[in-house]
Structure 1
Amino acid sequence: MSAHAGGKGMLLLFSLMAGACVTAADAPPAGTDYPRQFGYVTTQDGTRLAYVVYLPAAHGTFPTVFQYEPYLGGGSAPDKLWLKAGYAVVTANVRGTGCSQGQHDLFGPHEGPDGADIIDWISHQPWSNRRVGMIGVSYPGHTQLLVAAQHPKALRAISPSAITMNTYDDIVWPGGIYNVGFASRWSLLLQPGIAAVGAQARVAWGDQECRANMAAHAAPTLVEQTSSHAGFDAWWKVRSLADYVERVQVPTFISQSWQDHETSVNGATQMYARLKAPKWMALSPGGHGWTYMQPAFQSMLVKWMDHWVKGANNGAEKLPRVTVYWELGGKVPPVAAWETHYADWPVPGAQEQTFQLNGDGSLTRDDAAKQGDDKPRRYVFGPGTELIGSNAQFSLAPDPTGTLAWTSAPLAKDLTILGAIQVHLFASSDNADTDFVVSLHDVYPNGDVQYLQRRFLRASMREIDGAQSTPQFVYRDFDKPAPLVPGKVYEFDLSLPPIGAVLRKGHKLQVMVSSPSAIPQPDWGLQSLSLPGFNSVYSSPTYPSRIVVPVLPDAEVKGPEPACGSLAFLPCRPASPPRG
């Protein structure tokens, strides 16, 4: 993608042309104290993008926060968090969504330059002090990187939340398995449904152009597009943030949740590792957007944005580089039991503990490993699936003929995990291909099972990208599928997404291998292969299947033991669930 064209003369001409599309400021909408403007910004190729502006006061010039998205966009309600902090708030629809003209192209080549055009337009408005920060969770988290890579002059900071680095592996083809649940639900239900609400709001405000723009939008084709690109090809590379993140020059505050059910937490930690700009990161348990939803994080982010966008001398540049929130309850807004701070990621002081997957189903520390023999444990590929969307889903125990589990002895003391667990699985299959789901559980003393984390892998996509892989994350090429030789033993190395979790004294750590399910849980649903047969996992000195766990040996646990199933997006399965 070429850099955004600039020049003072071009910017002035562009701002005057776009300014002709701006409506006069309305009186504050009913129920708010914030003046509203709405209209269209015309990009340099002539496409008109719908926006709405809310001002913190009727008069004055203000710093701005800008959210750029395919959802409510130009029909959004006022964001009081930022308005109360003294910011003008601008929200706009990416092209082809809501009331914006054009055709939508997921993270396509227009989105960065279009967003840069809007920032240039913001900087020439009479209410703007020409200092802009970007905000947003999920899609508007991604667009921040695309826009920042264009280096718009007025942009001072970005705060991407719930983002990915590799759209292929982190959302649509995790581990090389098609996420039909997410692709279909997002493109056919969630995105168009939310965008329609924003469009209806604009029509109610008096927008005379919106209906015609929406009628010109093409029908969604994301399922057809994404399913036809089964490998990580050029189509995906353009739409993955890895090609943009190192071009970001403004301070960046990343936030993400461990159990995000739409965008894998891998994206946040990998982005942090690759950013060259000043960077901060906040991580927590929970689902999509749950870190951003926390009042404690929002207060910290406003302080941080005040420093970089307003220029406030408030010491925010000295905030800890990494903040971790622990054990969020399931209520909204979520509140953590405690938080910890670190100078970097991976966190200094973490120690690796290796646990062996033994042939008798035990999980033992490397200093107490059972050598076993070369006789594998087998399971039937296909029927053993685990649904993690809720306590109700999770309570349906996987078919025992279709899973294998390894469980530790009761822990002698609390085990605090922080980081990405590395899995080394020696396995074979009766077939030329198969799918693996490797899950991590916390088993309570009464036998209740709590979900912690999981990772997927299609065996034919096992090829590792050695140039990019690090001790913390195994990268894959995803463009060189290689069939298995039935019966041959292979080593499958994979990284679970990072996690922060405390297993209390007396609990057990458990690893489970199972098969994917296409049932949304709540959004991801992976289309598994239809190749019934046996998979085998080996545990011996020759084939030492194991996991390597990053542990904080001296971590202080500051909260009481939570009831199983009470934590956000950590569902619980009773010890003896009923079976039909």
Structure 2
Amino acid sequence: MHIDWDVPITMDDGLVLRADVFRPEDAGSHPVLMTHGPYAKGLAFQDGYQAMWSNLEAEHPDALAGSSNRYQNWETVDPEKWVPDGYVVIRVDSRGAGRSPGYLDILSPRETRDYYTCIEWAAVQPWSTGKVGLLGISYYGINQWQVAALQPPHLAAICPWEGASDYYREFTHHGGILDVFVKQWYPVQVSSVQHGVADSPRSRVTGEPVAGPEVLTPEELAKNVADTVAELRDHPLLDEYYRERTADLAKITVPVLSATNWAHHLHTRGGFEGYAGVSSEQKWLEVHGLQHWVEFYTDYGVALQKRFFGHFLKGEDTGWAEQPPVVVHARRVDGTFEKRGETAWPLDRTQWAQFHLDLDGGTLAAAGDVTRRETAFAAQGEGLTFWTEPLTEELELTGPASAHLRVASSTADADLFLALRVQDPAGRDVTFPAAMDPHGGVGFGWLRSSLRKTDPAKSLPYRPWHTYDERQPLIPGEPVDVDVEIWPTSVIIPAGHRLGVSLLGRDFEFPGDGPWPSAYGISMRGNGIYVHNDPHDRGSDVYAGTTTLISGGEHPSYLLLPVVPRTAG
């Protein structure tokens, strides 16, 4: 393997970005796999993300086998597993990050144009066939959607692996409620490797500072970076700031393999919406479980990626022509999966079923109460929970979902948090490994009631589309109808278990004393680090009133869930 460090790539405004290029040690030309982002290409996975690396070592040794792991980098491919197969692997530090100077503004139009330039640069190098593919996790998935919408001429295929596709609805806000993720993530993973920071870690391979070589003063660093956290607070509604950071999916025409995860409050929705929204005639969806970083690196994930890119970048017969349009790993309550090839998403045999919130018995019922009833709860309290009776037969829920609710508030607004739950016969909650939380929930939905307006042209019964562009304050005590989007989920529930839903005015937390793991200073009790307690967004007393749920009679409140018929055997 031949490696060129800090290769210069000149942007249209004259700024020079730096890239590491890993390529076969021959005189031939090869297709390119590229990533471009702010996490510092020289920072070793093992050094920057020790907990995640330890998880792979302990639970998924196949992910690290067959490589010296000398060049491993967070959320990007291992060159030692790709270069021997005839690929050039390129990692670019984006503007203002790592070894690249400039003004750091994450996921901005400027950053996306830079990515376009990098793709086109790689395509015309003497070691390149002219075909460029994009493959990476999270940030390196999000910006694939963005740059593919610009249609670089030499972009041949993309595989966004757990990458959000909507900057407002997924990356920063849930149901119009500000998520604290960016505030927690940005200082740890982005600011820490801003170009020019003092005492940045050094590359295990080159010995150079990963965010150097120059060192900037605190004043210079501040002038070279956008205040992303403040921008979110200054833009509570979905305006041009978010639109220019959200890909126009309909403009994407290249082959797409969208890989997503059932249990990620940042990325789950984007994989499904990206798959549905692109104009590509050749597109595939793959859905898996486990922690956010795992399957990208396992033998399963790498083999899937190689079949896709072998077909589209190298013209090889990898069997991809027989790949089902959709592959799901449906989750079982024991932590195993049922892998299936499917023909469509949502699954074409889905039976959409209403589960009514019965206020009289506190149950999820097949039919609504003939009598109108109402129950009030403190918005910051324990909320309401509804359960089915123990199931008499196995029940599979796989797909997107929604809730239609009639609510009132003692104040001018109310935040609604929905958590789908499953309990075993002993009354213990079933949990699944989530993005960073070892005990993630089954499914979640959120909505700020004043942002309940939907776009009828884009809404579907199982996936309402909220505009988030204007507030419609509540009149205290006056009921309104709201539709809540519940992000896609999957669970096969055995007989004897119960299905439930909790409705609160704050983040749902699993009951019990723990101990609960923590990350970024957040105690994780089902939502991981994706909680909604920013004082600028939620500190007002308007979100601490009394919420009333109304159900029955002419105003039923219910869940619309994707029931998938089970086949014998």
Deviations 1:54-98 (A, max 9, x none): 123354322211011111336562513322432111011111111
Q: Given residue 210 of structure 1, which amino acid in structure 2 is its aligned partner?
A: G
- Offset of residue 550 of structure 1: 0.8
Measure, in 1, the Cα distance between the counterparts of 2:552 and 2:107: 46
Residue 465 (structure 2) aligns with: 475
Q: Given residue 299 of structure 1, which amino acid in structure 2 is its aligned partner?
A: A
Measure, in 2, the Cα distance between the counterparts of 1:329 and 1:154: 44
Contact 1:74 1:91 in 2 (8 A): no
Residue 48 (structure 2) aligns with: none
Change (3 A) 1:523 1:34: farther
Measure, in 2, the Cα distance between the counterparts of 1:434 and 1:82: 50
Q: Given residue 186 of structure 2, which amino acid in structure 1 is its aligned partner?
A: S
2:250 paired with 1:210:
no
Change (3 A) 1:231 1:238: same
Structure 2 residue aligned with 1:416, among 369, 374, 396?
396
- Offset of residue 298 of structure 1: 2.4
Q: Which aligned pairs between 1:444-455 and structure 2 lie closer than 5 A?
A: 444-450=424-430, 451-455=441-445
Contact 1:282 1:291 in 2 (8 A): no
Q: Given residue 271 of structure 1, which amino acid in structure 2 is its aligned partner?
A: G
Change (3 A) 1:515 1:81: farther
Change (3 A) 1:234 1:208: closer
Measure, in 2, the Cα distance between the counterparts of 1:95 and 1:484: 44
* Matched residue SS, 1:307: helix
Measure, in 2, the Cα distance between the counterparts of 1:448 and 1:237: 42
Residue 227 (structure 1) aligns with: 233
Residue 25 (structure 2) aligns with: 57
Residue 315 (structure 1) aligns with: 319
Change (3 A) 1:101 1:199: farther
Identity of aligned residues (%): 26
Measure, in 1, the Cα distance between the counterparts of 2:189 and 2:209: 23
Contact 2:137 2:163 in 1 (8 A): yes
* Matched residue SS, 1:160: strand
- Offset of residue 157 of structure 1: 0.5
Change (3 A) 1:233 1:323: same
Change (3 A) 1:213 1:89: farther
2:553 paired with 1:553:
no
Contact 2:33 2:135 in 1 (8 A): yes
- Offset of residue 50 of structure 1: 1.6
Change (3 A) 1:328 1:308: farther
Contact 1:251 1:279 in 2 (8 A): yes
Residue 479 (structure 2) aligns with: 489
* Matched residue SS, 2:213: helix
TM-score, normalised to structure 2, is: 0.81
Measure, in 2, the Cα distance between the counterparts of 1:208 and 1:458: 41
Contact 1:156 1:250 in 2 (8 A): yes
Gaps of 5+ in 1: 1-32, 385-401, 558-580
Q: Given residue 547 of structure 1, which amino acid in structure 2 is its aligned partner?
A: L
* Matched residue SS, 1:423: strand
- Offset of residue 343 of structure 1: 1.2
Change (3 A) 1:149 1:539: closer
Deviations 1:342-381 (A, max 9, x none): 1111111111121111013443443xx3625333122111
2:118 paired with 1:150:
no
Measure, in 2, the Cα distance between the counterparts of 1:133 and 1:433: 46
Residue 446 (structure 2) aligns with: 456
Count of aligned positions: 497
* Matched residue SS, 2:560: strand
Q: Which aligned pairs between 1:146-295 and structure 2 lie closer than 5 A?
A: 146-179=146-179, 181-193=180-192, 200-201=202-203, 204-205=206-207, 210-212=212-214, 216-217=220-221, 218-219=224-225, 221-241=227-247, 243=248, 245-261=249-265, 263-277=266-280, 278-295=282-299
* Matched residue SS, 1:259: coil
* Matched residue SS, 1:538: strand
Gaps of 5+ in 2: 45-70, 73-77, 431-440, 508-520
Q: Given residue 182 of structure 1, which amino acid in structure 2 is its aligned partner?
A: F
Task: Give RMSD over aligned pairs.
Answer: 2.6
Q: Given residue 105 of structure 1, which amino acid in structure 2 is its aligned partner?
A: D
- Offset of residue 42 of structure 1: 1.0
Residue 109 (structure 2) aligns with: 109
Measure, in 2, the Cα distance between the counterparts of 1:183 and 1:206: 28
Contact 2:97 2:211 in 1 (8 A): no
- Offset of residue 250 of structure 1: 1.1
Residue 536 (structure 1) aligns with: 548
